[in-house]
Structure formats: C-alpha cells, structure tokens
Chains A and B, each alone.
Chain A
Amino acid sequence: MNDDLERLLSGGPSPVPDLDSARLRQRLAERAAAAGLLDVAYGEHDSPLGPLMLFVTPKGILRLSYPGEPIDAQVAEVAAVVSPRLLRAPERTDAVRRQLDEYFGGSRRTFDLAVDWRLVYGFAAEVLRATARIPFGRVSTYREVAAEAGSPRAYRAAGNALGSNPIPIVVPCHRVLHAGGGLGGYTGGLDRKRYLLELEGSYRR
C-alpha cells in the first residue's frame, strides 16, 4: 500500500518550524509560577567563587551549591525531597542573584532573603539557624554555635551540620572557625572560606 499519498505524508508537514525551546521554557515557568504550580525553580549564577547553582521555592532560597556536584544529581535530589514540580527557570532566581552580586561587589552586608529550610532537619537545622544569626564581619566557633543550638558539647555534630549546609554564603557557615583561631573546614574548600572572610574584613593573609 505504498503509494503517492503515503510518500507525501511521510516526514510530516513541511516546513516544520523549529521549536524555540528557550521561549517555551520561559513562558511555561512564568505561567506555572503564576498558577502556583512551580514548586522549585533553579538557575546558574556566575560569581567570583565560580558558577553557583541556585534553587528557589515560593518560600525562599532552598539551596546554593558550589561547582562540583553533578547538576542532574542535585536536581533529582531536590525533586525527590521537595517536589517533582521543578523547572530550570533562571529568571525566578533573579532576586537572589542580584543580592549575591551586591554582596560580592561590597555594597551588601546582609541578605534580605527568605530561606526555605526544608533540606535540613533536627539538630543540623538548629545549628544552621544559629549560624544565620552571626552578623557580617563577625566570626564564631563550632562550640558557640553548638551552644546556641542547645547542645554545647555537640561541637563535632555542629561541624558536620555546617559541612552539609545546603545554602552556603547566605547561611554564613564560613563565619564559624576553630576556637584556637584555625579556619576549620568549608563545604566549598578553604580557599573560598578565606575569600569570603577577607571580603567581610574578618581575615588577613
């Protein structure tokens, strides 16, 4: 039954216009957000510390990650823990990006951002909330944040909580040092910790 008609039909109508997938995504994200259907949006942001991946929800900033962990794995994790209604929509992260630029540019000392704490639980959440209260230009110690979180002896657990901070920079775990003055550790590597502390005037090489 291979006749002219089938030959004409094969391949579909022509010319088939190319799909403008950037426009599709942008409109979809806008409409989804307006309809309350976009639970998580993410996008990349260039910073002096490398490209940062930002995840935001209607509740606030959920996650900020340094380069390293594969993006697909991060996206899959956030989808599983928070919601599968997740889209790459960099324009939804604009408020965060602007404030990060201001912070790195030296014109902003505190972030005026709501935080979505859904990626942290239990004692770690207490430690990170205590950390979020350390002001720009000041530093604290693992022992102090552990005490602030309600368990002065749990400074090792506090260290672990800070090491797994899902929102570094915004929740300033870089401001927590060893009691003796040593830098301690940092989720993005010690060079980044030094950079941030220098930016805030808390550290001199």
Chain B
Amino acid sequence: MAAISRQRAVSRSTHVHLPPFESLVDAHAHELHRFLVGLVGPNDAEDCLQETYMSALRAYPKLRHAENLRAWLYTIAQRKATDALRRHHRRPTSELDGHEPVAPAVSLPEDDALWARVRQLPSKQRTAIVHRFVLDLAYEQIGERMGTSEEAARQNVSTGLRRLRREVTA
C-alpha cells in the first residue's frame, strides 16, 4: 500500500504539494480564534472561524503554492471579520432605542468597552492592533500577515492607538 501510493503521490506532486487540510485546523484554529475574538468579539468569533475554514476549504485545491498558508488563513479571517462587523452595524439596535447614548468614558474604560472601540476602528488599524496586542506579534510579522511592509504595520498600529487615545479621553 505504502509503496504504491507513494509512487502515485510523487507523480502528482510535480504540481503543488498541499498538506492535508486537517493540519491547518490543528495548527491554527486556536490562534485564529483568539485573533477573531479580538476583531469581532467573543460571540461571533466561532462563527467567523467556521466561515474562514469553509472559504479556505473551498479555495484550497486551487492554491498555486503551499508557502505561508498561515498568512493566507489570516487574510481570509480578516475578511470574514469585516463582513461580520458590517452586518452588525447594519443590524437595528432596538434595545437601545429611547436611551441616551452612553457618555464617553472620562478615563480608560475596562477591557471589553475598550475592545468594542477597537472594533470601530478602520479595518487596517483594527487588524494591526489585534495582531499586535492579542497575538503579540512583531511589526515585521504583522506586515507579513497583512501583506504590507513592516513600516506600514507600525503606522497602522500607531494611528489606531492615537485614535483610541483620543476617543477614550474625549
């Protein structure tokens, strides 16, 4: 069995050798989940992760190379998070009707309120901040995963931080 299929495997690998999709779930599901909790919050993170893996599975055999599958998954996850946030913003917030908007915090808000603000940031700043603070990545790695330079990654983080700082002290 082993010898027969290895022969055949070699003849196919002249194309692209993609690892079993299973290994992408094993290796990245937990970290992607943390990334998505940062981006969309704990309630929607698992659904976004499902959508991420479904899209990845759909596109998988068409990949032209198997380098940096991790960055590829993060790109998809980022897109799914953006879709989810967009849906949320469109959703009517009936439970808030008739209430005054909550006054902006004077001092720094607690974790969740702060992350709710992170989720309102423009997509690139939001994603860069999640990479930086949730996954603790260096700017070079953030650049790799977002397909930008290290410098652009640094810029995205600092612009986002400046904006947050303005908002929480407003």
B37 within 8 Å of A by Cβ? yes
Nearest CB on B from A40, distance (A)? 8
Q: Chain B interface: which of A15-23, A147-155, A196-204?
A: A15-23
Nearest CB on A from B69, distance (A)? 11
Asked if A13 meets B12 with Cβ closer than 8 Å, knowing A27-B50, A85-B61, A88-B22, the reply is no
Question: Contact residue range for chain B?
Answer: 35 or more
Question: Contact residue range for chain A?
Answer: 35 or more
- B21 touches which one: A6, A17, A85 (CB < 8 A)? A85
B138 within 8 Å of A by Cβ? no
Nearest CB on B from A183, distance (A)? 20
Question: In the bound complex, do residue A84 and residue B60 qualify as a contact, i.e. CB atoms below 8 Å apart?
Answer: yes
Asked if A24 meets B22 with Cβ closer than 8 Å, knowing A5-B108, A85-B57, A166-B1, the reply is no
Question: In the bound complex, do residue B20 and residue A10 qualify as a contact, i.e. CB atoms below 8 Å apart?
Answer: no
Asked if A8 meets B37 with Cβ closer than 8 Å, knowing A28-B25, A85-B57, the reply is no
B165 within 8 Å of A by Cβ? yes
B: residues with CB less than 8 A from A are 1-6, 8-9, 12-13, 17-22, 25, 29-30, 33-34, 37-38, 41-42, 45-46, 49-50, 53-54, 57-58, 60-61, 108, 111-112, 114-115, 118, 129-130, 132-134, 136, 158, 161, 164-165, 168
Given contact pairs A14-B111, A28-B57, enumerate 19 new A-B contacts (beta carbons under 8 Å).
A8-B108, A8-B111, A9-B118, A13-B37, A13-B115, A19-B33, A20-B46, A21-B25, A21-B29, A24-B50, A24-B53, A25-B25, A31-B50, A32-B57, A38-B57, A75-B20, A79-B20, A87-B21, A119-B1
